[in-house]
Amino acid sequence: MKLDSYSRLIGATLAAAVLAGIGAVGFHWVADNFGELLFGWANAHKISSRLPLVLFVPTVGLFLIGWFLQQVPESRAGGVVEVLDALERHEGKVPGVRILHVVVSSLVLAVGGSVGPEGPMVQLGALIGSQCGQYLRLTRSQLETLVRAGAAAGISAAFHSPAGGALLMLEMFGARFNRDLPAISIASGLGYLVRTTAVGDEYPFRPMAGLSSLPVISLLFVVPLMALLAAPTGHFFIWFFEKWQTLFPRRWPLWFRVTVGGAIVGLIGVWFPQVLSAGYPTIIRALNGGMGLKLFIALLLLKMLATSVSFGSGAVGGLFAPTLVIGALFGGAFGYGLRAIAPGLVPQPALFVLLGMVVMFGSIVKGYWSGLLMIADLSGCYHQLLLPGVIAGGIAYLISWELRDRSIFGLTLDSFGKWAAPREEARAACAGD
């Protein structure tokens, strides 16, 4: 009986991992080809030419999305918080209707909303894992393991990082090292294989110019200084993000709030199209020296604003990508700013763009090791990044807990369940809109 139970768990893990990997690759393809379409067009035209379209598409697109979200409240629940809610309160059961949230999130990206694709991919993987486990009648503990395994496969396929996907489940999703990790690791590895089979073994964030390791003096002084600044910056973003959750009056209909949010993001995008959608082209441009110090600072503040407005208005999507973009902009501002003062301490500012993503992922998402490994896997700069990443990421992570004991997803890593209302209450709140 026990052997049969484990056989079903292994079979479900293999099936969920492959399906989650395929789903994540497909979703990322949509995000890459449609989510950045508006950004690419706007970036190729002058302000006067792009103003009508860049303002029109997010406003009208998010009006239609807001109307749908109001008519179908079930489509609003999803993302990382929904997965955590399923694990804590619902025995790992993720309803199939949550696929609507994944679809709507892709549409928000397509019309320029400042959200990311990875959160929905975590949910998609968890949903597939949950449905496979329920179909094979797994036990509660096995079903919860499979939900985490599916989520790991999705994040591994999205971030090109099997180790990062597995560690994220330990750091954020309450996985147990001895019982859950084997299935999670298998699923994460298979998700990575599906990605490389489909799109190749490439490094999306690899700088065009090769990077050298930082000198010892930079490791001793510059890297810790960056971490000391990163933690309060991440704390500020979480505070700013939460403030925008209450700035749109609740008496306004949901469709109107989302429309206003789309208009604000579109207006910002007229002058700064880099804030639209996930923003990965901005990271690539920052890595390859295409931005100056003033633009780094301006985009850092505007990306925080656009992301806070998008989610505060009621739009849906992921937060991992905006966090990485904010981190890259912070790292670029720090690296290029310090290079202007002391060039010898910052020989290659592009490395600080990568480090910025590491420290912000740890400060905002509270994912220290997973963030470090994912950025290393995305860039291929293992030798140059791991040592400063361990130092800067660890310092920023520890300070971030002192500043705030909850991540941007509203949870502590020690205790689940305090951040989310039960599904019934959430559904009633949605219906009230």
Dump pLDDT digits (tens) for 168-203. Answer: 998 888 788 777 888 999 999 999 999 888 877 778
116 strand-pairing partners? 318
Reported as a pLDDT band with limits 50, 70 and 90, residue 38 is low
Which pLDDT value is given to residue 290? 84
Which pLDDT value is given to residue 419? 31
48, two tokens:
């006067």
Contact 145, 184 (CB under 8 A): yes
- The Cα 361–Cα 323 span in angstroms is 6
- Residue-averaged pLDDT of the chain: 85
Contact 113, 62 (CB under 8 A): yes
Section 123-133 average pLDDT: 91
- The Cα 430–Cα 73 span in angstroms is 5
Same fold, 2-199 and 216-403: yes
Which pLDDT value is given to residue 26? 81
- The Cα 62–Cα 68 span in angstroms is 10
Which pLDDT value is given to residue 89? 83
Does the pLDDT of residue 386 top 60, yes or no?
Answer: yes
CATH topology of domain 216-403: Clc chloride channel (1.10.3080)
- The Cα 407–Cα 409 span in angstroms is 5
Which pLDDT value is given to residue 117? 81
Does the pLDDT of residue 408 top 80, yes or no?
Answer: yes
Section 317-343 average pLDDT: 93
Does the pLDDT of residue 428 top 50, yes or no?
Answer: no
Span 97-123, pLDDT tens digits:
888 888 898 889 888 888 888 788 888
Contact 363, 296 (CB under 8 A): no
User: Domain locations in the chain?
Assistant: 2-199, 216-403
Contact 387, 223 (CB under 8 A): no
Q: What is the pTM of this model?
A: 0.89
Query: What sign does the dihedral 204-207-213-217 (CA atoms) show?
Result: negative
Does the pLDDT of residue 309 top 90, yes or no?
Answer: yes
Which of 332, 232, 351, 230 has its CA nearest to residue 282? 332
Does the pLDDT of residue 397 top 90, yes or no?
Answer: yes
Which pLDDT value is given to residue 433? 43
Reported as a pLDDT band with limits 50, 70 and 90, residue 429 is very low
How many CA atoms are closer than 13 Å to the CA of 57, on its beta-carbon side?
25
332, two tokens:
């670029």
Tell which wins on pLDDT, 387 or 8.
387
31, two tokens:
């995000």
Which pLDDT value is given to residue 201? 73
Quick one: three-class SS letters along the chain? CHHHHHHHHHHHHHHHHHHHHHHHHHHHHHHHHHHCHHHHHHHCCCHHHHHHHHHHHHHHHHHHHHHHHHHCHHHHCCHHHHHHHHHHHCCCCCCHHHHHHHHHHHHHHHCCCCCECHHHHHHHHHHHHHHHHHHCCCCHHHHHHHHHHHHHHHHHHHHCCHHHHHHHHHHHCCCCCCCCHHHHHHHHHHHHHHHHHHHCCCCCCCCCCCCCCCCHHHHHHHHHHHHHHHHHHHHHHHHHHHHHHHHCCCCCCHHHHHHHHHHHHHHHHHHCHHHCCCCHHHHHHHHCCCCCHHHHHHHHHHHHHHHHHHHHHCCCCECHHHHHHHHHHHHHHHHHHHHHHCHHHCCCHHHHHHHHHHHHHHHHHCCHHHHHHHHHHHHCCHHHHHHHHHHHHHHHHHHHHHHCCCCCCCCCCCCCCCCCCCHHHHHHHHHHC
| Lowest-confidence pick of 55-59, 293-297, 362-366 | 55-59
Site of tokens 């973009």: 325
2-199: CATH class: mainly alpha
Reported as a pLDDT band with limits 50, 70 and 90, residue 228 is very high
A 10 A CB-CB count for 253 gives 14
